[in-house]
Amino acid sequence: MTDIGPGTELEGGKYRTKRRLGKGAMGEVWLAHDPKLDRDVAIKFLHDPEAQDEFEVEAKRIANLEHDNIVRVYEYNKHEEKPYFVMRHMRGGSLFDRLRAAGGVGLPIADIAEFLLRVSDALDFAHSKQIVHRDLKPANILLDDSEKAYLSDFGIAKNIRTPMTSGRVTIAGTPEYMAPEQVSGGKVTPQTDVYALGVSAFELLTGHLPFTTEDRLAVLDKHVQAPVPRLADFAPGLPSGLQAVVERAMAKEPAERYKSARSLAQDLDHATGNEPPGDETPTSVAAPLHAPEMSEGIAEVTGLHAKRASGQVTLTWKAPVDVHQIVICRSTKHPPAVREGMVAELPGRDSSWIDTDPFTGSTHYAVYCQYRGSAFGAIYFGDGEHERA
């Protein structure tokens, strides 16, 4: 088996490598050129033959996570028995590159808010598919030419319902970003990624990690026991409300963290003076939805149904075939308007969602259909202690 180097041709010249972009736990990434389509691509090669099963799982997992804010995979193949997959090349580099270039100071907070809003949408989408990333960090947040952020590198991502293929990995992640339950080998949940997003926010805001030392075992211990440091100790002058956001995201107990990545990102955005807070428990509710909210000719979801059982509410519906996205919102009193009390964003082909943390008593849900370049159509209902069609 020959080593990969500059000028290596794959698939009879379909791709030609140019230079190595980076090296990770499972493989290395090369910049390559596709002469037929005249475009650059990124190709990730596996360098650990014992991890081939996990590598193939990663390729399939990312390929099936079709989301606007997740780096797209074009194909999976092998070169002289060395597996690789071809991805979109992100010309803007990573947020880690931006931090390194900043030289120990944080990035502009307006940029951070925008980056995390996009990444949080990708994370929540992955979570809706029962996938936990487990290695979220600035190095895995990539930028395109237009400064838009994308989530990448699902190399150690875990399907909540399925064990790792080989069973060789018991604790996975980067120590500086690992949640306490990862350190202790406990149950991994979407809140594990919320913790890492909180650590990433801390680093992006200050230019420093919250916990760092030459002894990486000591770093792990700090994640389990030490309180979240004050942002002001690293970056005086940041808006004071950011501290509470980071502390909640990095709570030691998963149940005390944000229920979704989007809620964290919205609260951070609000703390910088932009959007209203994104907490899952709304402090105010919107007026009932009326016809003017809907664009003429926009179809609604149909057959909306809810069933409350065992402390959860299961929603099912039917949506038109050309819907781009489904947005679910909720409140305690009135049907919420678009984005008010939003709890989930799903691809248009989805037809069900489980609210694992519903309000006690009556809960009003709104299910919105979003079309590319158009307004929303919607249907809503109130959910009591019985089934409601």
Domains of the chain and CATH, by start: 9-88 (3.30.200.20), 95-271 (1.10.510.10), 291-383 (2.60.40.10)
What average pLDDT does the structure give for the chain? Answer: 78
Q: Which residues contact 210 (CB under 8 A, 6 or more apart)?
A: 199, 202, 203, 228, 229, 250
User: What's the Cα-to-Cα distance from 110 to each of 48, 117, 197, 269, rounded to whole Å?
Assistant: 40, 11, 16, 8
Check residue 294 and give its pLDDT.
32
What CA–CA distance (Å, rounded) separates 54 from 44?
A: 13
pLDDT tens figures, 238-269: 998 999 999 999 999 999 999 999 999 999 99
CB distance 337 to 286 below 8 Å = yes
Q: Which residues pair with 23 in a beta bridge?
A: 28
- Please choose, from the candidates 196, 151, 165, the residue with its C-alpha nearest in 3D space to the C-alpha of residue 178: 196
Q: Which residues pair with 53 in a beta bridge?
A: none
What is the pTM (predicted TM-score) of this model? 0.66
* Structure tokens given for 331: 């409140």
CB distance 369 to 298 below 8 Å = yes
328-345: string of b/e by CB count within 10 Å (b at 16+)? bbbbbebbbbbbbbbbbb
Q: Which residues contact 119 (CB under 8 A, 6 or more apart)?
A: 69, 136, 141, 149, 150, 151, 197, 261, 265
Q: Which of 124, 135, 153, 267 is catalytic?
A: 135
What CA–CA distance (Å, rounded) separates 135 from 128?
A: 17
- Please choose, from the candidates 218, 158, 214, the residue with its C-alpha nearest in 3D space to the C-alpha of residue 190: 158
Residue 9: how many other CB atoms lie within 10 Å: 12
Residues of the chain with pLDDT under 50: 1, 159-170, 275-299, 372-377, 383-389
Radius of gyration of the chain (CA): 22
What CA–CA distance (Å, rounded) separates 135 from 156?
A: 7
What CA–CA distance (Å, rounded) separates 258 from 321?
A: 32
DSSP strand E in 182-240: where?
none
Check residue 296 and give its pLDDT.
33
Specify burial of residue 220 (Cβ count, 10 A radius: 0-12, 13-18, 19+).
buried
Check residue 95 and give its pLDDT.
95
Check residue 351 and give its pLDDT.
78
Active site residue 121: no
- Only one residue has tokens 């100790």, namely 233
**Phi, psi of 305, deg, nearest 5:** -145, 145
Specify burial of residue 126 (Cβ count, 10 A radius: 0-12, 13-18, 19+).
buried
277-293: string of b/e by CB count within 10 Å (b at 16+)? bbbeebeebbeebeeeb
What CA–CA distance (Å, rounded) separates 94 from 153?
A: 12
What CA–CA distance (Å, rounded) separates 43 from 39?
A: 13
What CA–CA distance (Å, rounded) separates 361 from 383?
A: 8
- Please choose, from the candidates 318, 378, 373, the residue with its C-alpha nearest in 3D space to the C-alpha of residue 348: 318
What CA–CA distance (Å, rounded) separates 204 from 199?
A: 9
What CA–CA distance (Å, rounded) separates 119 from 370?
A: 19
- Only one residue has tokens 């994308």, namely 150
- Please choose, from the candidates 35, 33, 54, 32, the residue with its C-alpha nearest in 3D space to the C-alpha of residue 44: 32
Check residue 370 and give its pLDDT.
67
